[in-house]
Amino acid sequence: MSDQKPLYRTAISLAGAEDILVRGYSLIDLVGNVNLGTMVSLLIKGELPSRAEGEMIEAILVACAEHGVRPPSIQAARQVASGGVQFQACVAAGVLALGDSHGGAIEQCMQVLQEAAAGIKSGEKNAEEVAVEVLSAVRSARRRLPGFGHPVHKIDPRTVRLFQLAEEYGIKGLHCDLAEELTKRSKVILGRALPLNVDGAVAALLSDMGFDWQVGKGFFILGRTFGIVAHVYEEITRERPMAHLPPYELLVYDGPESRPVSITSKSAK
Amino acid sequence: MSDQKPLYRTAISLAGAEDILVRGYSLIDLVGNVNLGTMVSLLIKGELPSRAEGEMIEAILVACAEHGVRPPSIQAARQVASGGVQFQACVAAGVLALGDSHGGAIEQCMQVLQEAAAGIKSGEKNAEEVAVEVLSAVRSARRRLPGFGHPVHKIDPRTVRLFQLAEEYGIKGLHCDLAEELTKRSKVILGRALPLNVDGAVAALLSDMGFDWQVGKGFFILGRTFGIVAHVYEEITRERPMAHLPPYELLVYDGPESRPVSITSKSAK
Amino acid sequence: MSDQKPLYRTAISLAGAEDILVRGYSLIDLVGNVNLGTMVSLLIKGELPSRAEGEMIEAILVACAEHGVRPPSIQAARQVASGGVQFQACVAAGVLALGDSHGGAIEQCMQVLQEAAAGIKSGEKNAEEVAVEVLSAVRSARRRLPGFGHPVHKIDPRTVRLFQLAEEYGIKGLHCDLAEELTKRSKVILGRALPLNVDGAVAALLSDMGFDWQVGKGFFILGRTFGIVAHVYEEITRERPMAHLPPYELLVYDGPESRPVSITSKSAK
Amino acid sequence: MSDQKPLYRTAISLAGAEDILVRGYSLIDLVGNVNLGTMVSLLIKGELPSRAEGEMIEAILVACAEHGVRPPSIQAARQVASGGVQFQACVAAGVLALGDSHGGAIEQCMQVLQEAAAGIKSGEKNAEEVAVEVLSAVRSARRRLPGFGHPVHKIDPRTVRLFQLAEEYGIKGLHCDLAEELTKRSKVILGRALPLNVDGAVAALLSDMGFDWQVGKGFFILGRTFGIVAHVYEEITRERPMAHLPPYELLVYDGPESRPVSITSKSAK
């Protein structure tokens, strides 16, 4: 190391000729000994998690992996693939769509839960008080509570499944309790019961495993990329270029009718 | 048009077999009769601007086109190109870097100026009162005023040049006046004179031409993409793959030292 | 400059505190004195072109700027925008779609024309011989000739317009002649007359202006990005998130029917 | 389903209100019962693999996950993050860099092995003959054999580890044998022993598990995205905007010296 100011510093890994050190562990030792759920926890938090946490993360990523062909991520990936584009760039287009409105509820819900939990941890408030505070703020601001509510289900079956696994793995903690408290009190404060949806369940579980809300979107990206890769492969091997131009019947042009070009020279040189 | 709900509606254009209608104008008529500055105004605002406005936008886009090899947009584009990637995907990588901290001051400054100008237009306040309000808010919040201030210049030469052209073209209006008022009063209220930098000049001029701040980033993207294309072409034709791995001397790994893998089975199935 | 190996070298520009030097010219001097067509030629080829060339490029970019809402680039950009994504990332998604099958005919046609023209320039062959060679190769390989042919037109009106301008500007040269020779002889050799379409016209004109085919895609990207920016802005300001999920009636799932999960343990640890 | 031509067809999944069917399996049943390695095989090939195959894929993805801060994918992701960009767009920038020269050897090697194996499977040739053919073609064309050769190692430790696991899992087959045959005969035919590197090992193993070479890049993307997510998170939480502008000492501008702007009007209107 010279005395120059570093251009890059990282605590994640160091790649040498003989091996790659990941958070202090040899990559060779990790291969075959840890699953991807364990790997991602190590990469992000810097320490090997328990086997239970690795399994829980695998389950979460499987739950996020696929949701049919309609979401913007899959639409974007397949449209780009239909332009005759390299595999990785089609996948990247799909990833780009995972913005605030597409999987964004995970990180938003994590932030709500983590800020609320901080109040409980500091001993200032109990779960009930915190839940009332959060819901009252939602009511006054007339906004949605991210991670809660579902157009169809009273109880989201993916939430049920993930919480059942979390029970088995001993993962559930303060943030899951708080999420359930919020559902319980939403009926009274908001006038309708808000079930925890799958985004909210993932948010509560990631929070209970100690992940910062700022990396919440990363988990959704990791999971959904599995589905995106499959859709890109299907598009490339099964469809012709430009396969998905929407039919004219589904388009509306509501701009001006045909008119002649004429430019005023107002004050131009 | 069927009675189905449209999947897409647009007021921008309608492509048919014979011609493409852009905001009501035949594309064939536009080609050779309008420049790109005129075209972008038509595309965004829906009407042909004066010749002066078209020229002013050309000047703004030229001013944004190139800023050397160091900015993240060029770094990202050239790094991606060095991975053996299609031309358009390298350009896209460069565009991705144009976030809140890289050209973002244009739209942020436009928002400040347009919200302030609304107060003047409504007749409630004059330019002086509005400027004092904006600067006081900046001072209390201890944040930066986007589009103002420069690490080197008292007067940014690009601002001088753009404003000189705007004078010739008759483009300057309320937002430019307001920007100058903000500079004038910054000395007293903030304790240092904040010159309008090039982002701020572009913001004021786009505002005076009637562009919504929400499209401000679009102009920076359009301009800088000219530079990105040139850098991608230079990278592809002049450098070998993986040409820019930063040297080891500029890297610091500050993660844990080497350690053995061992996973606890806490509560796993 | 130290004696370290450079991490980046560029002949395009040098950004300093006082000014930005672009191919040796002060950016301040370029602003207001050159249009974008001139700027892109300078950025790519390193020299200021004639005023005529700058105008011709402006016309080409205007011709490429917009083609309605159906192409994959616009679909991808608007889908990504509907996910709640930053402006520049939506534009990048649109750019990603501009692959081999979406605007790719420009660079492909440039390569064909430039390789054929090399034979003429070297004095070995005349335009007629070269055209026959190219068309015979197309016939044997049973592939398409990029830049030629059109599903609707005998004569593409955009080609007519661009060539008319090129005549005025004095731009037409060997590659345009060769393109016309190819159309003329296609009737006999391929059994159907192949009109030069707009991609082919752009390819011939860029080649006559001395641009390398490897940068051909760059021009299409630059032009179409103007349209993409307008569509992203329209999407963001006019539509709700997730606005374009294709209706269920347009989807077909042809995978397996519902079945139970069961995994064989074949040779697992 | 109407009689309209479908806009999208897929055999991958069907998302309904109650559940998501993935290749015929309920997503709820998959969560917690299959790992990500199993999930990706199901998504791509359409059938649940053996537990062994799922474990092998997990090991491969862990091996691909991280390789330090220097590769273009990480550089691009961190540069884009430093521009003040949403999480998913930074990840996408990293993915974009995974082109032909960055992980591309996996799919290229898969194609070589699968085409060679087709000759063996059809009974026309044995492994020895096929290996000699492949190596002779490499020698005549003076190109590299993708997946083989290593700047440092005689034996790549990651190859050793993956092949040891493949032995345990009972995964090794014809393509692994062929890869070893190629190494064995390279000494004689090419004059230097070409060890199978990690890209080649992954290629042989994916081929033996029945994956089409066209999806080979997908596995590298899936693995490396785990590393990219960690680097983006580290960048966002630990560094300031624009943190990695390369120092001036590492840049070289070798374009023209400063000169005045002057445009000739050759044949312009």
Q: Evaluate whether B241 touches B85 at the Cβ level (below 8 Å).
A: no
Backbone angles phi, psi at A244, to 5 degrees: -120, 35
Helix axes C198-208, C216-238, angle to 10 degrees: 130
Residue C5: pLDDT band (50, 70, 90) is confident
Q: Evaluate whether C117 touches C178 at the Cβ level (below 8 Å).
A: yes
Per-residue confidence (pLDDT) for residue C153, from 0 to 100: 72
Quick one: average pLDDT of D87-106?
A: 97
Pick the residue with more confidence: A43 or B152? A43
Only one residue has tokens 């009106």, namely C157
Residue C104: pLDDT band (50, 70, 90) is very high
Among chain C residues, CA nearest to D84: C86
Residue C243, exposed/middle/buried by CB under 10 A (0-12, 13-18, 19+)? middle
Per-residue confidence (pLDDT) for residue A268, from 0 to 100: 44
Q: In this complex, do D93 and B80 lie within 8 Å of one another by their Cβ atoms?
A: yes
Give me A133's structure tokens.
């505070």
Q: In this complex, do C43 and B226 lie within 8 Å of one another by their Cβ atoms?
A: yes
Report the range of poorest mean pLDDT among A49-58, A237-246, C146-155, D171-180. C146-155
Q: Evaluate whether C85 touches A99 at the Cβ level (below 8 Å).
A: yes
Residue D173, exposed/middle/buried by CB under 10 A (0-12, 13-18, 19+)? middle
How far apart are the CA of C81 and the nearest CA of chain B, in angstroms? Answer: 13
Residue D151: pLDDT band (50, 70, 90) is confident
B205 pLDDT higher than 60: yes
% residues pLDDT > 90 (chain D): 88
Per-residue confidence (pLDDT) for residue A153, from 0 to 100: 72
Q: In this complex, do A80 and C96 lie within 8 Å of one another by their Cβ atoms?
A: yes
Partner residues linked to C22 by β-bridges: C13, C25
Distance separating alpha carbons of residues A236 and A233, to the nearest angstrom: 5
Partner residues linked to B22 by β-bridges: B13, B25
Cα separation values, D144 from A194, D113, D136, D141, Å: 60, 14, 12, 9
Our separate counts of H helices and E strands in chain D read 11, 5
Residue B267: pLDDT band (50, 70, 90) is very low
Three-state secondary-structure class, residue D195: coil
Partner residues linked to A9 by β-bridges: B252
Stated pTM of the model = 0.97
Quick one: average pLDDT of B163-179?
A: 97
Which chain A residues contact residue D246 at CB under 8 A?
A: 7
Report the range of poorest mean pLDDT among C106-115, C215-224, D2-11. D2-11
What is the complex's ipTM, to 2 decimals?
0.96
Q: Evaluate whether C10 touches B243 at the Cβ level (below 8 Å).
A: no
Which chain A residues contact residue D97 at CB under 8 A?
A: 88
Residue C173, exposed/middle/buried by CB under 10 A (0-12, 13-18, 19+)? middle
Q: Which of B212, B220, B209, B230 is nearest to B81 (CA)?
A: B230
B5 pLDDT higher than 90: no
Pick the residue with more confidence: C141 or B151? C141
Quick one: average pLDDT of B49-75?
A: 97
Distance separating alpha carbons of residues A170 and B139, to the nearest angstrom: 50
Among chain A residues, CA nearest to C85: A99
Which chain B residues contact residue C12 at CB under 8 A?
A: 66, 69, 227, 230-231, 234
Q: Fill in the amino acid letter for B36.
A: L
Facing residue for C72 by CB, picked from A80, A99, A104 = A80
Quick one: average pLDDT of D168-176?
A: 97
Report the alpha-carbon angle D100-D105-D111, nearest 5: 105
Quick one: average pLDDT of B20-45?
A: 97
Q: In this complex, do C234 and B37 lie within 8 Å of one another by their Cβ atoms?
A: no
pLDDT, one tens digit per residue, over A162-185 is 999 999 999 999 999 999 999 999
Facing residue for C79 by CB, picked from A79, A100, A251 = A79
Which chain B residues contact residue A89 at CB under 8 A?
A: 85-86, 88-89, 92
Q: In this complex, do C222 and B225 lie within 8 Å of one another by their Cβ atoms?
A: yes
How far apart are the CA of C269 and the nearest CA of chain A, in angstroms? Answer: 11
C184 pLDDT higher than 60: yes
Residue A3: pLDDT band (50, 70, 90) is low
Q: Which residues, other chains included, contact D262 with Cβ-Cβ below 8 Å and sequence gap of 6+?
A: C48
Distance separating alpha carbons of residues C196 and C18, to the nearest angstrom: 48
% residues pLDDT > 70 (chain D): 97
Q: Evaluate whether A163 touches A60 at the Cβ level (below 8 Å).
A: no
Report the range of poorest mean pLDDT among A81-95, C31-45, D179-193. D179-193
pLDDT, one tens digit per residue, over A100-110 is 999 999 999 99
Per-residue confidence (pLDDT) for residue A132, from 0 to 100: 95
Q: Which of C229, D44, C263 is nearest to B217 (CA)?
A: C229
Q: Fill in the amino acid letter for A118.
A: A
Per-residue confidence (pLDDT) for residue D136, from 0 to 100: 96
Which segments of chain A does DSSP mark as H helices, in order?
27-30, 36-45, 51-64, 72-81, 87-96, 104-121, 127-141, 157-169, 174-190, 198-208, 216-238
Facing residue for C79 by CB, picked from A76, A85, A241 = A76
Quick one: average pLDDT of B77-104?
A: 98
Residues of C with CB under 8 A from a CB of A: 69-73, 75-76, 79-80, 82-86, 89-90, 92-93, 96-102, 104, 241-242, 244-246, 251
How far apart are the CA of A133 and the nearest CA of chain C, in angstroms? Answer: 28
pLDDT, one tens digit per residue, over C78-101 is 999 999 999 999 999 999 999 999
Q: In this complex, do B93 and D89 lie within 8 Å of one another by their Cβ atoms?
A: no
Q: In this complex, do B250 and A6 lie within 8 Å of one another by their Cβ atoms?
A: yes
% residues pLDDT > 70 (chain B): 97
Q: Fill in the amino acid letter for A19.
A: D
Backbone angles phi, psi at D130, to 5 degrees: -65, -45
Among chain B residues, CA nearest to A264: B50
Residue D3, exposed/middle/buried by CB under 10 A (0-12, 13-18, 19+)? exposed
pLDDT, one tens digit per residue, over A35-45 is 999 999 999 99
Residue D250: pLDDT band (50, 70, 90) is very high
